[in-house]
Amino acid sequence: MSITVKVRVPGTTANCGPGFDAVGIACTIYSELELFLSDEGTLRIEIEGEGKGRIPTDSNNIIYQAVQAVLDRVGKHYQGIYLKLYNKIPLARGLGSSAAAIVGGLIAANHATGNTLTQEEIFSMATIIEGHPDNVAPAIFGGITISVMQDTQPVHLRFMPEKMLNMVVAIPEFNLSTHTARQVLPDTITMKDAVFNISRVALLIGALCKGEFHHLQYALEDKVHQPYRQELVPGMQQVFDAAVAKGAYGAALSGAGPCLIAFTDSNCDRIGKAMVQAFSKCDVKAEYISLSIDIEGAKVIE
């Protein structure tokens, strides 16, 4: 017996300034995964696009591990597992490539084995594998998500803004692992910094919900992670300033970086070129892409 499933999963931008480990947005950049399960054969993994030649193609592959986690959970075994990834999400740049890989593996395996797991169970499994919920929630549910850990269980709320919002992402050519980007963070922060972030993340969610994007200039400010990660992304403040000078509402580090993301409803090219130029002035080669919010989240396409 053999089964084939194809899923499409969006990339994501997490944190969105002050919403460290809590806020995420699904973006219109995708990874497509084909899963083939058979009673005969072995493990075979092929990668096309971003990550070709870099992503492991053996049992260390995170998609395979996600597929296997579902098979173990539902008590199924397949001798032959074939995975083919067509990936457009840059790796280790803060656009949720590993969350998309994990979510793709979980959803494809769940669909292939009769959809016995709910979306919430998939969310919980993905959070355990990824380590935090803020990238996996938008990858699964689409839109803008707020995630909270309630003991060991992730809880989420998803919404779409009243008006559409575009995102211009400046992608520097260097990688930054989330592990490295978390190592520079302090163990504790001051009450003053906590209040700074609490007030801004509240403003951020209100502004996004209501489409009052002019608030983003202040609502994207952060004192919990960005100031510490600045040393890892040369030119970060200059790129933010360049984006705002060309009309962006505001800008932030995308996830753990190193991508920088500006929020706007117009002038994407003008903003993107200015961001790339500001990076270049700091000797960082970069390119930019313009994205909008993915509404659907992960879905089975075949």
Binding site for ligand HSE (CB under 6 A): 14-15, 20-21, 132, 134-135, 178, 181-182, 225, 255-256
Cβ at position 240, least distance to ligand HSE in Å: 17
CB of 86 to ligand HSE, least distance (A): 22
- Would the annotation count 99 as a binding residue? yes
Query: Annotation-wise, does 92 bind a ligand?
Result: yes
Minimum gap (Å) between residue 23 Cβ and ligand HSE: 9
* Tokens 């500006």, located at residue: 262
Count CB atoms within 10 A of the CB of residue 73. 16
φ and ψ of 46, to 5 deg: -125, 140
91 is in an annotated binding site: yes
Q: Closest residue (Cβ) to ligand HSE? A: 256
Taking the complex as a whole, the smallest distance from the CB of residue 139 to ligand HSE amounts, in Å, to 11
- Give DSSP secondary structure letters for 27-77: EEEEEEEEEEEESSS-EEEEEEETTTTTS--STT-HHHHHHHHHHHHHT--
Q: Is 262 annotated as a binding residue?
A: no
Cα(6)–Cα(119) distance, integer angstroms? 17
Our CB check for ligand HSE shows the closer of 5 and 143 to be 143
Torsion of CA 113, 119, 121, 123, to 10 degrees: 120
Q: Which is nearer to ligand HSE, 185 or 300 (CB)?
A: 185
Q: With respect to ligand HSE, which residue has the nearer C-beta, 95 or 262?
A: 95
Nearer to ligand HSE, 15 or 87 (CB): 15
Sequential DSSP letters for 112-180: HTTS-S-HHHHHHHHHHHHSSSTTHHHHHH-SEEEEEEETTEEEEEEE--SS--EEEEEEESS---HHH
Smallest distance, Å, CB 282 to ligand HSE? Answer: 22
Q: Is 100 annotated as a binding residue?
A: yes
Annotation: binding site: 90-100
Which residues line the annotated binding site for ATP?
90-100
